[in-house]
Structure 1
Amino acid sequence: MLSYLARRLLLLIPVIIGVTLVTFLLLYVVPGDVVTLIVGERASAEIIEKTTMELGLDKPFHEQYLIYMSKLTRGDLGKSNVNHQSVAKSIAIRFPVTIKLAIFSFIISVIIGILVGVISAVRQNTPMDQMLRSITLIGVSTPVIFSGLLMMYIFGVWLKLLPISGVGDGGLKHYLLPSLVLGLNSAVFNARLTRSCMLEVIRQDYIRTARAKGVSEKIVIYKHAMRNAMIPIITNLIMSIGALLTGSALTETIFALPGIGSFTINAVFARDVPVVMGCFVFQALIFVFANLFVDIAYAIINPRIRFN
Structure 2
Amino acid sequence: AHAEPNYFAFVRSMEGTKPDGDIKTAPGDQLVVDAELGHLFDYYLAGLGEKDLAAIKAEIERELDRRLKPVPAAAAKRLLASYLAYKRALVDIERDLPMNTDLAQSARNRLEAMQTLRQRYFTAAESAGLFGATDANDLDTVERLEIGADKSLNAEQKRQKLAALDEKMPAALRAERDAPSQVIRLEDAVQKMRQGGAADDEVYRMRAAALSPEAAGRLAELDRDEADWKARIQRYQGERGKLLAAPAGPDGDAGRQAALQQLRDAQFKPEEQKRLGAYE
TM-score (norm 1): 0.28
Larger relative contact order (Cα-Cα within 8 Å, sequence gap ≥ 6): 1
Rg (Cα) greater in structure: 2
